Structure 1
Amino acid sequence: MATTVPRHEYPTDEVPETLDALAETANWILDEFADSPVLRPQALSTALTLAQQHCAVDPQAVKFETWEAWVTAMQTGSALFAAATAPEGGTVTCRIKERERTLPATGPESHLHAGTWVTCFYLAMICRDNDRLRRLAQVPLSLLRESEAVFDEYIYSWVEALQSFWLGRQDVGDKLVAAVDGTSPQALRHADAGLMSQILYPPLILLYRVIRRDPAEFNKALADALRAHKAYWTADMDRAASADGLVALGPLAMACLARDQGITVEVESEYLPKALLEYSWIGEIEY
């Protein structure tokens, strides 16, 4: 029997106008960001916000425009890391929104930190893009550290755990244990305790349940993760009014992984848009 976790109330009266404005901005940024150090940091965040905002009025992601927005966010983030890891002085050609775009090699950039990498990896898991997942799994940890962004050490172990899992390395368990240990209150120096416990930590446990191939415990942890997500995004009015909380990105990515690994997902929620979870749009867009 499925467990249901309803999404929190979100105002939708102005969403159509917001979507139009966001889409116009996102298209402009995508047309200009390749050669613009000013626009590159905005490209992924704008594309992801547009994808999340689509889910305000299309909570199950059944519209093509919603799927296209999620794919575009995935393509944009992956392109940024492809440019960052390209040989100095060279270029890379990346497909974004059905167009081939040429980006110059950038090397490390301040916005390409471990948090951005995790977001991009989640997006590629949701879109089931194995090629982009492989390339992201090969991004050197040193490049993420060179961003000079300030993070607790746990996130680097989490990056390594995801990379090791995807590449089939034997150290995935050790890396995951290190990541979990790094989320303890005693280990934290920078992350807010609520953000850690309700948003950042649950995907680690979900990956553990996938590795253990434990359907019952996975679904229990998934329901708990969505309840924690809901609690975080309803803690105050500003959060509740933010499109960032409409989709539980990390839990959704892990649910997609679990489903593809043969685990039946028995949790239903608008935080896990059904068409994204079930990969209903397969073949509709050339990646």
Structure 2
Amino acid sequence: MKIERVCIPKFENVSLNERLEFPREEINETPDFFADYRDNLLQCAKDRLDLARWLTWEVQTNEIEKESATGLRYASKMYAAFLKLAEHPEQDITFKILDLPEVTWNGLGMLEDGRAHPSQWLDAYFLAVITRDSESMDSLANFPVEIMKQSATKAGPVSYKLVEVFQAFHHRQDNYPSLLNQCMKMAVDQGNDWALGIAMGYLETFAALTTDIGFDFNETLAKNIQLQEKYWINASGPDTVPVESFLPLQLLGMACMWRDMGNTVTVESDSLPRFLIEGTYF
């Protein structure tokens, strides 16, 4: 089942090499300045995520695949560290992220600055799924949603409920099916483009992955890859590249889970790199 991407960036305006140059420069500079990165930790992770997203437009050599996978490994650890700081703002915590210099930070001011949003958690958790980073998955699965709600930046009720759904499945809670159904109903009731196009797509695909609700996983995945690309194209507008659609973390993470459960992912898409689904570099 081959899914072609609809959005083709205009590389005649800004070349692919130019798109890749900035995140590569930022990544090269990270070790020298990492001690000062507490407030930029999320951006540091996003630089690596952006690099991986643009690399999906490169010819997928072993070198390109390894560069993408390596960036995502760092990004996963950075997202998890960022949210750990927000969870324990007054506590000094020491982090050793792969080969970066060891740092000790606290999270003072993060909640007041709106730095613990459900969208960040959703990206963080599924980055951990993709990179098979069980340590970060466990840490994020225990992040209290009530603390997230204390952040100055607020989200709609569906966003918080999504976090609860994925945490409940992670912990194999008995109430997971009821939370899944509640969240689907809340998405319909919320009724905006994000709730129906993004949140419902996550929920449908996750339901196909984890329940016997009757959805075929690969068909549901293929449908939502296309619907979510359409959403990001519309949300980005005519003059902005819908970068989020190049590597849809949540759907890609679910494809990884499906494969790791011993099933076959039959959907082929440049947005679902096979080496990430297979966990080749993890």
So what's the TM-score if we normalise by structure 1?
A: 0.85
**Residue in structure 2 matched with residue 75 of structure 1 by the alignment:** 77
Deviation for aligned residue 1:258: 1.3
Q: Does 1:266 align with 2:270?
A: no
8 Å contact from structure 2 (residues 38, 105) kept in 1: no
Deviation for aligned residue 1:29: 5.3
Q: 1:242 to 1:234 in 2, by over 3 A?
A: closer
Q: Does 1:151 align with 2:184?
A: no
User: What is the identity, as a one-letter code, of the residue corresponding to 1:111?
Assistant: R
Separation of aligned partners in 2, 1:15 and 1:144: 37
**Residue in structure 2 matched with residue 123 of structure 1 by the alignment:** 127
- 1:75-134 Cα deviation digits (max 9, x unpaired): 2111212223347242221314x2243141205432221110011001001111111101
**Residue in structure 2 matched with residue 285 of structure 1 by the alignment:** none
8 Å contact from structure 1 (residues 115, 155) kept in 2: yes
**Residue in structure 2 matched with residue 90 of structure 1 by the alignment:** 92
- Aligned CA-pair RMSD: 2.5
User: What is the identity, as a one-letter code, of the residue corresponding to 1:187?
Assistant: Q
8 Å contact from structure 1 (residues 209, 215) kept in 2: yes
Separation of aligned partners in 2, 1:91 and 1:40: 14
Deviation for aligned residue 1:173: 1.2
Separation of aligned partners in 1, 2:214 and 2:274: 18
Deviation for aligned residue 1:252: 0.6
The 3-state SS of whatever aligns with 2:187 is coil
Between 142-151 and 272-281, the greater mean CA deviation after superposition = 142-151
User: What is the identity, as a one-letter code, of the residue corresponding to 1:133?
Assistant: M
Separation of aligned partners in 2, 1:111 and 1:29: 21
Work out the number of aligned pairs and report it.
273
Separation of aligned partners in 1, 2:57 and 2:276: 14
Q: Does 1:225 align with 2:227?
A: no
- 1:204-226 Cα deviation digits (max 9, x unpaired): 11111111257961111111101
Between the aligned residues of both structures, percent identity stands at 23
Separation of aligned partners in 1, 2:27 and 2:243: 16
Q: Does 1:161 align with 2:165?
A: yes
- 1:207-249 Cα deviation digits (max 9, x unpaired): 111112579611111111011023224444335x343221122
8 Å contact from structure 1 (residues 199, 232) kept in 2: yes
Deviation for aligned residue 1:174: 1.8
**Residue in structure 1 matched with residue 247 of structure 2 by the alignment:** 247
**Residue in structure 2 matched with residue 5 of structure 1 by the alignment:** 3
Q: 1:31 to 1:51 in 2, by over 3 A?
A: farther
Q: Which has the higher contact order (CA 8 A, sep 6+)?
A: 1
Q: Which runs of 5+ in 1 are unaligned?
A: 283-287
Q: 1:48 to 1:206 in 2, by over 3 A?
A: same
Q: 1:76 to 1:152 in 2, by over 3 A?
A: same
Separation of aligned partners in 1, 2:61 and 2:145: 35
User: What is the identity, as a one-letter code, of the residue corresponding to 1:178?
Assistant: Q
- 1:240-283 Cα deviation digits (max 9, x unpaired): x343221122211111111112232111111111111111113x
8 Å contact from structure 1 (residues 125, 253) kept in 2: yes
Equivalent residues in 2 for 1:1-287 (5 A)? 3-8=1-6, 9-12=8-11, 14-28=15-29, 31-32=32-33, 34-36=35-37, 38-58=39-59, 63-86=65-88, 88-96=90-98, 98-106=99-107, 108-109=110-111, 110-184=114-188, 186-188=189-191, 193-212=192-211, 217-235=216-234, 236-239=237-240, 241-282=241-282
- 1:132-189 Cα deviation digits (max 9, x unpaired): 10111011112211112221101111101111111222121122122111111x335x
Separation of aligned partners in 2, 1:130 and 1:37: 23
Separation of aligned partners in 2, 1:126 and 1:205: 19
Q: 1:269 to 1:252 in 2, by over 3 A?
A: same
Deviation for aligned residue 1:12: 4.1
